[in-house]
Amino acid sequence: MPEVSKNINPSKIDVSLSEINDGIYRICGFDDTYGITFNQLLIDDEKPILIHTGPVGMYEKIEAKVKEVIGLEKLIYVAFLHFESDEWGGMEFLNSPGARLVCSDLSSKLNLTGWNNVPLDHISFWDNEKLNIGKATLRFIMTPHVHHWDSMMIFEENSKSLFTSDLFIQPGFNKPVISEDLSDSMIALYQAVGIFASEKPVRITSKRLEKLKPKMIYPMHGSCIDGSIFSNYVDSIMKNDFAYSGKLLGQNMEYEVA
Ligand SMILES: [Fe+2]
Ligand SMILES: [Fe+2]
């Protein structure tokens, strides 16, 4: 696992593009400091949407890949699923003519107000609200305290695509889509990195997502997961402990006050 003192250098990360499903593209860069990929997802529909922007230093490379699919002037929505730098450090996408920010109602209330230079012009959604972008209909699912308390996920109802942000992530640089069960390495990553304070909200959310019967799962880190193997990942969340227990980014934390 990485040391806390090391920072990634996003501008050094190579970025690749692959079409995962009809009109759904994964823009992926592997960072060897943290040993994980950073994935942005582009849905090319009548009103195209980019889900996650990547951290700030990756912007130019991600922009180049978006432009291989659509002109930036065609980008209508830019979504982030919780307020963190890898999810939307590349705010420059909001300079695209016509691009509008999409987030959860909690992100709007908690994180997009009270700052300088944070765009107030955005659309926010509550649980089960929908946004039609052409063939695709996005359903927004509130997932509070699954990593951050403003977290949400997106389910695209036509293709049954599930965008889970930092849930169901795996380490390493594998092929774009996997049918393999890498849930052991997912759990080991969560135990070492400490991104969940408690298992309970993660388990409630995972069971809820399983009921949607997604055909493809698009985590922000790691490979896309074929729906045929998804239940293994949910089972692993249900039966293993993985919440924070004194390790952050692979390092033990000291609790004693000097
Ligand atoms: Fe995150
Ligand atoms: Fe992330």
pLDDT of residue 255: 62
If you measure from the C-alpha of residue 167 to the centroid of ligand 1, how many angstroms do you get, rounded to a whole number?
A: 9
Q: What are 166-220's pLDDT values in tens digits? A: 999 999 999 999 999 999 999 999 999 999 999 999 999 999 999 999 999 999 9
What's 10-250's CATH class?
Answer: alpha beta
Q: Please report, in angstroms and rounded to a whole number, the separation of the first and last CA atoms in the chain.
A: 27
Q: For the ranges 103-107, 110-114, 115-119, which has the lowest average pLDDT?
A: 115-119
Distance CA 154, CA 141 (A): 6
pLDDT of residue 75: 97
Q: Are 223 and 174 in contact (CB under 8 A)?
A: yes
pLDDT of residue 2: 47
Rounded to 5 degrees, φ, ψ at 137 are: -120, 120
Q: Nearest to residue 225, comparing CAs of 239, 206, 242?
A: 206
If you measure from the C-alpha of residue 220 to the centroid of ligand 1, how many angstroms do you get, rounded to a whole number?
A: 8
pLDDT of residue 230: 98
If you measure from the C-alpha of residue 43 to the centroid of ligand 1, how many angstroms do you get, rounded to a whole number?
A: 21
Mean pLDDT of 119-138: 94
Q: Is the model's pLDDT at 1 over the cut of 60? A: no
If you measure from the C-alpha of residue 83 to the centroid of ligand 2, how many angstroms do you get, rounded to a whole number?
A: 10
Q: Is the model's pLDDT at 139 over the cut of 80? A: yes
pLDDT of residue 250: 87
Which regions of the chain does DSSP assign to beta strands (E)?
A: 15-21, 24-31, 36-43, 49-51, 77-79, 100-104, 122-125, 130-132, 137-142, 152-156, 161-165, 177-178, 216-219, 224-226, 247-248, 251-252
Band (pLDDT 50/70/90 cuts) for residue 119 is low
Q: In this structure, which ligand is nearest to the CA of 168?
A: 2
If you measure from the C-alpha of residue 88 to the centroid of ligand 1, how many angstroms do you get, rounded to a whole number?
A: 10
Q: In this structure, which ligand is nearest to the CA of 84?
A: 1
If you measure from the C-alpha of residue 142 to the centroid of ligand 1, how many angstroms do you get, rounded to a whole number?
A: 15
**Mean pLDDT rounded to a whole number for the chain:** 93
Q: Is the model's pLDDT at 258 over the cut of 70? A: no
Q: Nearest to residue 66, comparing CAs of 75, 57, 58?
A: 75
If you measure from the C-alpha of residue 87 to the centroid of ligand 2, how many angstroms do you get, rounded to a whole number?
A: 6
pLDDT of residue 6: 65
Q: Is the model's pLDDT at 101 over the cut of 90? A: yes
**What token pair was written down for 44?**
């090319």
Q: In this structure, which ligand is nearest to the CA of 8?
A: 2
Distance CA 194, CA 66 (A): 32
If you measure from the C-alpha of residue 57 to the centroid of ligand 2, how many angstroms do you get, rounded to a whole number?
A: 15
Q: Is the model's pLDDT at 256 over the cut of 90? A: no
Q: Is the dihedral of CA 79, 83, 88, 91 positive or negative?
A: positive
Q: What are 11-52's pLDDT values in tens digits? A: 788 999 999 999 999 999 999 888 999 999 999 999 999 999
Q: Is the model's pLDDT at 3 over the cut of 60? A: no
pLDDT of residue 191: 95
If you measure from the C-alpha of residue 240 to the centroid of ligand 2, how many angstroms do you get, rounded to a whole number?
A: 21
Region of 2 please: left (phi>0), alpha (psi -120 to 50) or beta.
Answer: beta
Q: What are 236-250's pLDDT values in tens digits? A: 999 999 999 988 988
